[in-house]
Amino acid sequence: MRKSSSRPSRSTLLNELSACQAANLLARRDISAVELVKSCLERVAGRDERVQAFTYIDADRAIEQAKSLDEGPIRGVLHGLPIGVKDLFDAAGCPASYGSSIYEGHRPMSDAVSVSMCRTAGALVLGKTVTTEFAYFSPGPTRNPHQLERTPGGSSSGSAAAVADFMVPLALGTQTAGSIIRPAAFCGVVGYKPSIGLVSRAGVKGISETLDTVGCFGRSVADVALLGSVLLGDTRLTATQGLGAPCIGLCRTSEWTLADADTQRAWAQACSSLSADAQALVDVHVPASLADLVLLQKAVMAFEMSRALHYERASRPEKLSRRLSLLLDEGQGISLETHIGDLQRTAAARRDAQDLFKTCDVLLAPSAIGEAPPAKDGTGDPVFCRAWTLLGLPCVHLPFSSGRDGLPVGLQLVGQWGQDHLLLAHAQWVFERLECSSVA
Amino acid sequence: MRKSSSRPSRSTLLNELSACQAANLLARRDISAVELVKSCLERVAGRDERVQAFTYIDADRAIEQAKSLDEGPIRGVLHGLPIGVKDLFDAAGCPASYGSSIYEGHRPMSDAVSVSMCRTAGALVLGKTVTTEFAYFSPGPTRNPHQLERTPGGSSSGSAAAVADFMVPLALGTQTAGSIIRPAAFCGVVGYKPSIGLVSRAGVKGISETLDTVGCFGRSVADVALLGSVLLGDTRLTATQGLGAPCIGLCRTSEWTLADADTQRAWAQACSSLSADAQALVDVHVPASLADLVLLQKAVMAFEMSRALHYERASRPEKLSRRLSLLLDEGQGISLETHIGDLQRTAAARRDAQDLFKTCDVLLAPSAIGEAPPAKDGTGDPVFCRAWTLLGLPCVHLPFSSGRDGLPVGLQLVGQWGQDHLLLAHAQWVFERLECSSVA
């Protein structure tokens, strides 16, 4: 039974609904999947020529799928929600180029596990979103929806931009250095990088077995928690209420001096607005054993990328960007003996990272140096993400402030490994307070 | 310049040469890649109707590739060597079915990294070898070349059988439970499972991110070390001489009571023949913290397989064997919370495993319960491999004895994580002594 009173008012466009709002309306059949997907497609049609978030959309197929969802039973918590899928993931029926011309025309015959899990939960793949070349630094065409001459960040450029620009409520991404948190920061959306090892990477073009992490983007903590609950297969992720005020560790990190005035201002703003309500704010200093992780992350990534892209480099070297080729050369120059030592240091650092949470529930840390830089200068620096990725800790970027040019600025919360449900609950609590402070 | 004196005598068929022998002759151009590949193809033609090791061979293409290797410069240490590739790996130009009818007709457009590394080193992919269904227990058609009514073991059934039957000198395989060591034991060849994390799994159909390990088969320790040096990218692996007598830890494992009379006899034989020459033989008891690893390995595998094969189960459930479906059901029944605990116990066990080597250089342990069971009863029990796979330790199976029915029996050596070069050197030393004892 359709209750017209439950429908959003005419002034709210369906594509602007949060994922949770839309999911509720869809589950009650108050809106149809066809209406929602058409609204998203309209947004794409109106904007994507400039934003260039998508590499592939088949509108007819998306509508057809929405129709069959409308006609069938409610399939799961994502029933009828259109999602964007980073073009590093395989999705049956869509081309997959992994951001490289080497894979032009490639059509995988199966879904990545994460895509399959989303579809089983009722999601509808609206299309593939732009990734940088093999998730490294050579940018795709995507622009920052807030200012088109700026970068959306990388490597999950299209997913972050599509969510920020209301083309889709949710999108999938991956992080190896800073490819979820950084574009989330630059585009002003919530980005969620789960604990390493909890979301299957099967069917995602891998570049580093030690670092690659599947995650997602949304416009609220509740939205990434909803999608995260499907990716992890853990309903605890959506129980984001009732934990109360967390004890927050302020972790400026060893790279703090690189944070610009905008990030420092956001930091001060967060500390000030959280100090009233948090159970405690404590300074957390990075111990010496965790100080060199940026260099370690770079070395592990270079070695493993030079292996992961061995075929592409051996068979089509002329199709690789110069920047990527240089990295692969660098990686190949690292001996296995050195890499074994690096993996041992990584394992030791992952153990030691537990100590960071001795006096707090979550860590607050910078997400990026500052606002999104000009697109011509690349996709920005992942320096504030490398260590957390190496440690495999779950991270959530919270957008709550803006910088000198009016572009989004925020901070990330970092949780303990395997405690993604607690991190998301705390992130929900923190985000509510930061957003209020921002409006005030 | 071709020295006819260096050629093997007419009585030695080229397909029976060890990989190292053939590689030396090829590097000196004493034999041609075309001659060698033709000899292997002849063996396949004569035997594979019965053994059924291969799912795919393109003889014309293999000869063509051999020709171009003969005409070009020496490409690397595997120059001109034909290898068998388990049908769980992608190899450009070959179909890949992963042992399932779901992927009938699938032709991947790129090489798995391990395949690409072999080709770059000059190897020639002779064909794809039979895997069980998605590397689990439902057997393919392959038979044990020693007795055709017996199983070759699984899941790397075709690779082990092809090497044992002199169809190829080397072949690639993977191990998630016991899929390299067990078929090596049943087929009487050397199997090498490297330390977890050292060989890229990109382009191999993954079933468990925590456990899947790429490795290989050969007919001598030196042969698997040669291929291993390419897979790991570490020339130390071929320096297998000069370490001297190792201190050997005798590790019967917690599953010892399952070893049958044949394995127990091989154990006694090994202890007796090594006691004279080894620096020391010491009993190594598995500490309590490492006692339950078989169950832990099963749980991790069930959970991760239910994720890894999510797409196949969601889209083509009718194409999965009953045995696999039951496992996937079981895995899906495990909560993420439980799995997180299992991953933490795995990490702790991997740390504790270092203690096993306090008093020895390598461990000697059973590889399998006994001789290869009848093919009608399945591919055999990986019980003696599960713990080592979970621990991520490098293992080498050494075939040196035979059982009551004249079928191969042997034992495995287990090394410290990341010390594959030492393990292989010790394995070489041990194998020489065990083979002598066997002849005596």
Count of beta carbons in the 10 Å neighbourhood of residue B45:
12
Q: How remote is the C-alpha of B423 from its chain's centroid?
A: 15
pLDDT, mean over chain A: 95
Indicate the pLDDT class of residue A12, thresholds 50, 70 and 90.
confident
Give φ, ψ of A398 to 5 degrees: -115, 115
pLDDT, mean over chain B: 95
Kindly determine whether residue B110 and residue A234, on different chains, have CB atoms separated by under 8 Å.
Answer: no
B280-283 and B213-218 as β-strands: parallel, antiparallel, unpaired? Answer: unpaired
Q: B314 and chain A: CB distance < 8 Å anywhere?
A: yes
Q: Is A275 a catalytic residue?
A: no
Q: Is A86 a catalytic residue?
A: yes
Indicate the pLDDT class of residue B2, thresholds 50, 70 and 90.
very low
Give Cβ neighbours of residue A77 (< 8 Å, ≥ 6 apart).
Answer: A23, A121, A122, A226, A229, A230, A238
Indicate the pLDDT class of residue A5, thresholds 50, 70 and 90.
very low
Q: What pLDDT was estimated at residue A7?
A: 67
Q: What pLDDT was estimated at residue A78?
A: 98
Measure the CA–CA gap between B363 and B365, rounded to whole angstroms. Answer: 6
Measure the CA–CA gap between A80 and A69, rounded to whole angstroms. Answer: 6
Which of B111, B335, B343 has the CB atom closest to A311's CB atom? B111
Q: What pLDDT was estimated at residue A205?
A: 98
Beginning with the edge strand found earlier in the chain, give each strand of the sheet holding B395-402 in spatial order. Answer: B54-57, B124-129, B82-86, B170-175, B213-218, B190-193, B395-402, B408-414, B362-366, B247-250, B280-283
Kindly determine whether residue A312 and residue B206, on different chains, have CB atoms separated by under 8 Å.
Answer: no
Lowest pLDDT segment from A104-113, A383-392, B1-10, B229-238: B1-10
Indicate the pLDDT class of residue A435, thresholds 50, 70 and 90.
confident
Tokens representing B175 are 């191990």
Name the DSSP letter for residue A165. T
Give Cβ neighbours of residue A148 (< 8 Å, ≥ 6 apart).
Answer: A50, A51
Residue B343: its chain A contacts at CB < 8 A? 197, 418
Measure the CA–CA gap between B24 and B18, rounded to whole angstroms. Answer: 10
Kindly determine whether residue A340 and residue B312, on different chains, have CB atoms separated by under 8 Å.
Answer: no
Kindly determine whether residue B308 and residue A113, on different chains, have CB atoms separated by under 8 Å.
Answer: yes
Ordered structural domains, chain B, with CATH: 4-238 (3.90.1300.10)
Name the DSSP letter for residue B291. T
Amino acid at A110: S
CA distances B153 to A420, B127, B346, Å, are 40, 19, 26
Q: Is the peptide bond before B155 cis (omega within 30 degrees of 0)?
A: yes
Residue B202: its chain A contacts at CB < 8 A? 206, 209, 307-308
Residue A236: its chain B contacts at CB < 8 A? 336-337
Question: Percent of chain A having pLDDT more than 90?
Answer: 92
Q: A340 and chain B: CB distance < 8 Å anywhere?
A: yes
Indicate the pLDDT class of residue B306, thresholds 50, 70 and 90.
very high
Residue A440 has pLDDT above 80, yes or no: no
Residue B103: its chain A contacts at CB < 8 A? 109
Per-residue pLDDT averaged across A408-427, rounded?
A: 98
- CB burial readout A14-49, b (16+ within 10 A) else e: bbbbbbbbbbebbeebbbbbbbbbbbbbebbeebbe
Q: Is the peptide bond before B32 cis (omega within 30 degrees of 0)?
A: no
| Helical H segments across B72-180, by residue range | 113-120, 157-164
Measure the CA–CA gap between B215 and B386, rounded to whole angstroms. Answer: 15
Count of beta carbons in the 10 Å neighbourhood of residue A302:
21
Axis-axis angle for helices B221-232, B113-120 (nearest 10): 110
Which of B197, B310, B314 has the CB atom closest to A343's CB atom? B197
Lowest pLDDT segment from A156-170, A426-440, B305-319, B386-400: A426-440
Query: What chain A residue is nearest to B109 in terms of C-alpha separation?
Result: A106
Distance from the Cα of B406 to chain A's closest Cα (Å) equals 41
pLDDT digits (tens, 9 = 90+) for B257-288: 999 999 999 999 999 999 999 899 999 999 88
**Tokens 């191990």 map to which residue?**
B175
Measure the CA–CA gap between A41 and A20, rounded to whole angstroms. Answer: 19
**Tokens 């999608």 map to which residue?**
A227
Residue A110: its chain B contacts at CB < 8 A? 311-312, 315
Question: Percent of chain B having pLDDT more than 70?
Answer: 96
Q: What pLDDT was estimated at residue A297?
A: 98
Q: Is A157 a catalytic residue?
A: no
Name the DSSP letter for residue B356. G
Residue A145 has pLDDT above 90, yes or no: yes
| Helical H segments across B215-292, by residue range | 221-232, 261-275
Q: What pLDDT was estimated at residue B440?
A: 44
Q: What pLDDT was estimated at residue B291?
A: 86
Residue A2 has pLDDT above 50, yes or no: no
**Tokens 């007796």 map to which residue?**
B272
A61: left (phi over 0), alpha (psi -120 to 50) or beta: alpha
Tokens representing B305 are 């397989």
Per-residue pLDDT averaged across A376-397, rounded?
A: 98
Lowest pLDDT segment from A34-43, A143-152, A282-291, B78-87: A282-291
Residue B209: its chain A contacts at CB < 8 A? 197, 200-202, 209
Q: What pLDDT was estimated at residue A292?
A: 84
Q: A292 and chain B: CB distance < 8 Å anywhere?
A: no
Query: What chain A residue is nearest to B96 in terms of C-alpha separation?
Result: A109
Tokens representing A366 are 């910078």
List the beta strands (DSSP E) in A3-69. 54-57
Start-to-end C-alpha separation, chain B: 41
Measure the CA–CA gap between A197 and B311, rounded to whole angstroms. Answer: 19
Tokens representing A346 are 């990584």
Tokens representing B280 are 């020391």
Distance from the Cα of B124 to chain A's closest Cα (Å) equals 15
Residue A242 has pLDDT above 80, yes or no: no
Q: A117 and chain B: CB distance < 8 Å anywhere?
A: yes
pLDDT digits (tens, 9 = 90+) for A365-381: 999 999 999 999 999 99
CA distances A148 to A131, B65, B186, Å, are 17, 50, 63
How many interchain CB pairs under 8 A, A with B?
103
Q: What pLDDT was estimated at residue B5?
A: 44
Measure the CA–CA gap between A239 and B153, rounded to whole angstroms. Answer: 46
Reported ipTM: the value is 0.96
Cβ A197 vs Cβ B343: under 8 Å: yes
Cβ B384 vs Cβ B367: under 8 Å: yes
Give Cβ neighbours of residue A250 (< 8 Å, ≥ 6 apart).
Answer: A271, A281, A282, A283, A284, A363, A364
- How many residues are present in chain A? 440
In three-state secondary structure terms, A77 is coil
Cβ A316 vs Cβ A102: under 8 Å: yes
Residue B1 has pLDDT above 90, yes or no: no
Count of beta carbons in the 10 Å neighbourhood of residue B120:
18
Residue A196 has pLDDT above 90, yes or no: yes
Measure the CA–CA gap between A237 and B158, rounded to whole angstroms. Answer: 44
Q: B197 and chain A: CB distance < 8 Å anywhere?
A: yes
Kindly determine whether residue B418 and residue A340, on different chains, have CB atoms separated by under 8 Å.
Answer: yes
Indicate the pLDDT class of residue A10, thresholds 50, 70 and 90.
low
Q: What pLDDT was estimated at residue A243?
A: 86
pLDDT digits (tens, 9 = 90+) for B131-173: 999 999 999 999 999 999 999 999 999 999 999 999 999 999 9
Give Cβ neighbours of residue A337 (< 8 Å, ≥ 6 apart).
Answer: B234, B236
pLDDT digits (tens, 9 = 90+) for B37-65: 999 999 999 999 999 999 999 899 999 99
Closest CA to B167 of B73, B55, B277: B55
Give φ, ψ of B82 to 5 degrees: -75, 135
| H/E element, B36 | helix B33-51
In three-state secondary structure terms, B393 is coil
Q: Look up the pTM and report it.
A: 0.97
